[in-house]
């Protein structure tokens, strides 16, 4: 297996964790995870295995019963868990303030995963399926994209 390939057990874990969940358009949630991972790999072919695996698991702490400890116990690397924790918005925090903090911190791995998530959230095909899609992009995801891209540029990534 190449150094940067996602382990099959990580995809299986993400699929199990999100089993039965659907996205805002009513599609199986695992599709979002797969698209985020694909976007990451496409934009950054040099992405590390930890970045790629974090893309698959990026919503596990927020949207499932998973904890950092349970991810580690399932064989997820400490670096992948660190990235997943960082891209998990703290409960009750303002979204754009949190995003600005990620951008300012300049951690390339975190920024790559979050930008890949953001790219899927602003994909015109997905946005068209949501009644409030255009407003969500204009008010939330596009400003976040600009902040994250700025942070990545400053970090040299």
Reduced to 3 states, what is the DSSP secondary structure of residue 28? strand
Q: What is the pLDDT of residue 2?
A: 64
Phi, psi (deg, nearest 5) at residue 120? -70, -35
Where b means 16+ CB within 10 Å and e means fewer, 8-31 reads eebbebbeebbeeeebeeeeebbe
Range of the domain at 117: 8-155
Q: Quick check: is 2 in a domain?
A: no
Compute the distance between CA of residue 40 and CA of residue 97 in angstroms, rounded to an integer.
Answer: 23
Q: What is the pLDDT of residue 32?
A: 95
Do residues 141 and 121 touch, judged by C-beta distance below 8 A? yes
Q: Quick check: is 12 in a domain?
A: yes
CA-wise closest residue to 113 among 53, 24, 45: 53
Any idea what the CATH number is for the domain that residue 105 is in?
Answer: 1.10.3210.10
Q: Quick check: is 25 in a domain?
A: yes
The pTM (predicted TM-score) of the whole model is 0.93
Number of domains in the chain: 1
pLDDT tens, the chain, 157 aa long: 566 799 999 999 999 999 999 988 888 999 999 999 999 999 999 999 999 999 999 999 999 999 999 999 999 999 999 999 999 999 999 999 999 999 999 999 999 999 999 999 888 888 777 777 667 766 788 999 999 999 999 999 7
Q: Quick check: is 3 in a domain?
A: no
Q: Quick check: is 94 in a domain?
A: yes
Q: Quick check: is 1 in a domain?
A: no
């Amino acid at each position: 297996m190449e150094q940067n390939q996602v382990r099959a057990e990580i995809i299986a874990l993400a699929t199990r964790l999100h089993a039965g969940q659907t996205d805002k358009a009513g599609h199986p949630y695992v599709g979002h995870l797969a698209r985020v991972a694909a976007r990451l790999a496409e934009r950054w072919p040099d992405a590390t295995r930890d970045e790629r695996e974090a893309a698959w698991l990026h919503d596990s702490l927020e949207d499932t019963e998973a904890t950092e400890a349970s991810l580690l116990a399932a064989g997820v690397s400490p670096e992948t868990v660190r990235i997943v924790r960082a891209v998990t918005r703290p409960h009750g925090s303002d979204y754009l303030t949190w995003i600005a903090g990620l951008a300012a911190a300049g951690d390339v791995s975190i920024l790559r995963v979050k930008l890949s998530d953001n790219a899927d959230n602003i994909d015109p095909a997905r946005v068209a399926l949501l009644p409030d899609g255009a407003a969500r992009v204009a008010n939330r995801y596009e400003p976040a994209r600009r902040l994250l891209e700025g942070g990545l540029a400053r970090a040299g990534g």
